[in-house]
Structure 1
């Protein structure tokens, strides 16, 4: 009797546990079935489908090929890049590998250019390109040049004719080109290409007057400039441009910049002999540069 009562008591105690038992397994669902409820915040549950989650991209889409990278198509690294882009493959964020031997090639070109500049330089300055002439004797007393050079370009600007002068005059010309000509013209027409030389060394008197003193041209200390040619082929002349609204301001700025590097600076306002050119020379005066 006691055993029967104990069995009944155990059955009654087990009934609440059976009533509250879960009706679903706690095991995770297989792929493609409804997903478990995810806890996003306390007391907040969001239900999503595994199929929807699988549709989300796990990797970023390949970025489009830039124009710069297309321009590099001849390099090996760019060919690989374009091929991967065409196939729709994700691209690495790493920079393209530098083509083999590129650094050596660039350095070689720079060294070659430097050697060419040094080989063609005069007066110990690569910005002055020409050749050494040496002693130039004069046909009349007072003329001639010691240690003359024949200059063909200054600071990257060609002279319309190779000009004979001494190094002091060549260096003054360089200062004027860099601080006067280039700033005055800027990028107009692509920048200055050529300086039009009207005269350089010539064994003669001043203004070719009989009995006058020897000109600085006869000593290799002077150069006459009649105008400029720009990289686009446009020309600017002293004769037509000095008093024009278009070219006058730039030419007057150049005239002013020459005062200092040169001892004598003469332009169209000086006299009737200089209406179509600048006269520059390196004669020095106690009172300083003479500019007119």
Structure 2
């Protein structure tokens, strides 16, 4: 048994020393005969003619147009393009004169609010009267059917509503050009009811709007337009937009006293704007 183990070990050592070599020292495979290589090349099918070149891409219309352009035609790049003609001095002067006139006729520190200063409105009875009141003729380029007396706070709210709420509610090509004023400052009770509290009209904080004149001359009244198919959506949108700039917004659905106009005032309420 011991003899067999020694014989196996000697055979392994002998084999390692005689015939087994590392990969880097092993013999390379013999080269193929040249005749076989040529035969393999000849048997490969030829699918393309080496003498035929790929077709050139067609010339674009842009290159043809550039080539056909006359050489003496000047370039019209952005730098070399003609500049717009300057406005005549008369146009500039008219714009400055108009702005100067608007600034002169503005009140409440806003050129968009045109009117006259009134100052203190005396109170005919307790609870009425206004301080630093103004008589507004137009707001945001929209004229009032009659000059309306109110405080600057109310005038500013009216200006914001007309510009950002009323005009967007109507078509851009047929904007509102005039407001029909139903009531403004008046020393009276709410809804003219005996014994009621003094209305915001008696404090210069309210204005009633009963209709709108459009750029095409059409008059849209609150009484008729509120339920009309053509203007109902626009009037409701305009009414909703007033809730925010004004503290109180009443319309045809509020009560029977406001079925034909919008009542807008700047009274403050604890729960926020009151809109019905």
TM-score between both structures, scaled by the size of structure 1: 0.65
Residue 187 in structure 1 maps to residue 172 in structure 2: yes
Q: Determine which of 110, 115, 121 is the counterpart of 2:106.
A: 121
1:176 to 152, 157, 161: 161
Residue 98 of structure 1: CA displacement?
A: 4.6
Residue of structure 1 equivalent to 2:9 = none
After superposition, residues 147-226 of structure 1 pair within 5 angstroms as: 147-188=132-173, 190-226=174-210
Asked if 1:242 is matched to 2:226, the reply is: yes
Q: Specify the SS of the correspondent of 2:181.
A: strand
Q: How does 1:53-202 map onto structure 2 within 5 Å?
A: 95=82, 98=85, 102-188=87-173, 190-202=174-186
Structure 2 stretches lacking a partner, 5+ long: 1-69, 74-79
Deviation of the 1:114 alpha carbon: 1.4
Select 1:271's aligned residue among 255, 270, 275.
255
Aligned-partner Cα distance in 2 for 1:255–1:96? 47
| C-alpha distance in structure 1 between counterparts of 2:147 and 2:261, whole Å | 17
Task: Return the index of the structure with the highest Cα Rg.
Answer: 2
Q: How far is the alpha carbon of 1:231 from its aligned partner?
A: 1.3
Structure-2-length-normalised TM-score: 0.69
Residue matched to 2:239: 255
Aligned partners of 1:270, 1:284: CA distance in 2, in Å?
18
Per-residue CA deviation, residues 126-180 of structure 1 (Å, 9 max, x unaligned), is: 0000010111112111111111100000000001110000000000001110111
Show the counterpart of 1:285. 269
CA offset at residue 97 of structure 1? 9.0
Structure 2: distance between partners of 1:199 and 1:124: 24
CA separation in 1, counterparts of 2:83 and 2:109? 42
- Report how far residue 59 of structure 1 moved: 6.5
Structure 1 CA distance, aligned partners of 2:198 and 2:170?
A: 34
How far is 1:104 from its partner?
3.0
Q: Residue 258 and residue 98 in structure 1: after superposition, are their counterparts in 2 closer, same or farther (change >3 A)?
A: closer
Q: Distance in 1 between matches of 2:161 and 2:83?
A: 45
Higher relative contact order (CA 8 A, sep 6+): 2
Gaps of 5+ in 1: 1-56, 61-92
Residues matched between the structures, number: 201
State how 1:19-30 maps to structure 2 within 5 Å.
none
Corresponding residue SS for 1:246: coil
Residue by residue over 1:207-243, the C-alpha shift from the partner in whole angstroms, topping out at 9 and shown as x without a partner, is 0011110000000000000010011110111110111
Q: Hey, what's the Cα distance between the residues in 1 that align with 2:194 and 2:142?
A: 36
Note closer, same or farther for the CA distance 1:124–1:97 as it changes in structure 2 (3 Å cut).
closer
